[in-house]
Structure 1
């Protein structure tokens, strides 16, 4: 396999993330890559179940895109682009500001980026209503911001490396997913189970993630920063890395009035004492 496109993207990611204040990338020795499986019909990639960054262990668990019944990826170029997207995405999770407290001998995360949680369990923002076309959940916004940036890096790397969109439907869908170029025709409404086989289930997971995370984040940017989406996106990621919302809040307040950040995201139960259910 020619791994040059991955290293080209890695170089671009280092420079871009340094601009956002991230001085250290996720060490490659802390990335566990599953490239082969003995499970019949196994299909890997960014949307594989349980793939992602583990904050307590400080490592990323990633699977190679495509059928996992052979040592070499079936489609090397798509596999490398998917790997770059996953690594660039998890680098931002790794570099996000975190704070922990000790609760009865157990480490409890009370801050992740610009998202907060009380040691008693209350989260800063509530889950979005089922079927809502927008988001007011700061976790969804942060996830969308990380993936928008990771897919931008992958898209630009594919262009520089001369990697073209495949002609077949499945390959085209995977290419557009990793590069952030999915169209409305590619993302159909959630129909639940996509059919038998892990490859079909993977497509269903891809479409749900695109609809519930990336599309909702795009709507959020258009709501709060029409014509200035890239500026707000950069401010968000800078705040996620530093854990400091002051610059972001000042920018939002200047356009939407005082207290915009809290007004958009803070749940009414965030300051409510937790009930003692043990009594």
Structure 2
């Protein structure tokens, strides 16, 4: 098993910026545990297992995904992959933020370290995502800051706007129901919750790609 952070080797007793390394690891470990624990379903095609469900994301045995990729530059999302990624990361960041608060880990003053702290604790603002240009460090650290900002813009912000748009003031409740559906693979309660607020068929109306159930022309 490999355990990796951006804060150097972990085998020595005194690691570089130990509190930040710990928070970085905690966020990543929690995030990946949620993904690992998400419901999966497989079918056999020509003697080989093919995954047709991952969390609340589906695909046909031919590989056709349930939802389409978001358009480049989109500020919102209608892609189940982004929703799942955003939900798992929001929860991981919440756990990391609570841990930092409980043990009194304060935000650093260094620009890059402050960005990392806000990223792993879920306190990164939209203004922060433009601060990558202020990071004058090694090439590797600069690329890290740019990647951090790109992730926040293309995943985190889209998920936050999705919760605001369809949560109708109950974003935390919607997030909890999404996360439960991702882990169990059962979207019944999530669909009912959305239908009660936005009308029948909201889930399929939001996410299902046109022609998803049409016969595969290559079959």
- TM score, norm. by length of structure 1: 0.73
| In structure 2, C-alpha distance between the alignment counterparts of 1:153 and 1:261, rounded to whole Å | 28
Match of 1:87 among 29, 33, 51: 29
Gaps of 5+ in 1: 1-31, 35-62
1:33 matched residue in structure 2: 2
- Scaled by the length of structure 2, what TM-score is found? 0.92
1:207 to 149, 154, 165: 149
Shift of residue 74 of structure 1? 1.2
Q: CA RMSD in A?
A: 2.1
Partner of residue 187, structure 2: 245
Structure 2, unpaired ranges of 5+? none
Distance 2:137 2:42 in 1: 41
Residues 198 and 273 of structure 1, relative CA distance in 2, 3 Å threshold: farther
Corresponding residue for 2:78?
136
Q: Is the 8 A contact 2:67 2:207 kept in 1?
A: yes
User: Which of 113, 128, 133 is the equivalent residue of 1:186?
Assistant: 128
SS of 2:31 mapped into structure 1: helix
Indicate yes or no: 2:16 matched with 1:104. Answer: no
> 1:129-278 maps to which residues of 2 (within 5 A)?
129-188=71-130, 197-276=139-218
1:64 alignment counterpart: 5
- Kindly tell me the number of residue pairs found equivalent between the two proteins: 216
| Structure number having the greater helix percentage | 2
User: Is the 8 Å Cα contact of residues 190 and 208 (structure 1) preserved in structure 2?
Assistant: no
Residue number in structure 2 paired with 1:73: 15
Report which of the two has the higher share of strand: 1
Instruction: Tell me how far apart the structure 2 counterparts of residues 161 and 189 of structure 1 sit (CA, whole Å).
Output: 27
Looking at structure 2, the residues matched to 189 and 124 of structure 1 have their Cα atoms a distance apart, in angstroms, of 36
Deviations 1:45-101 (A, max 9, x none): xxxxxxxxxxxxxxxxxx123235984531111010011101111111111110011
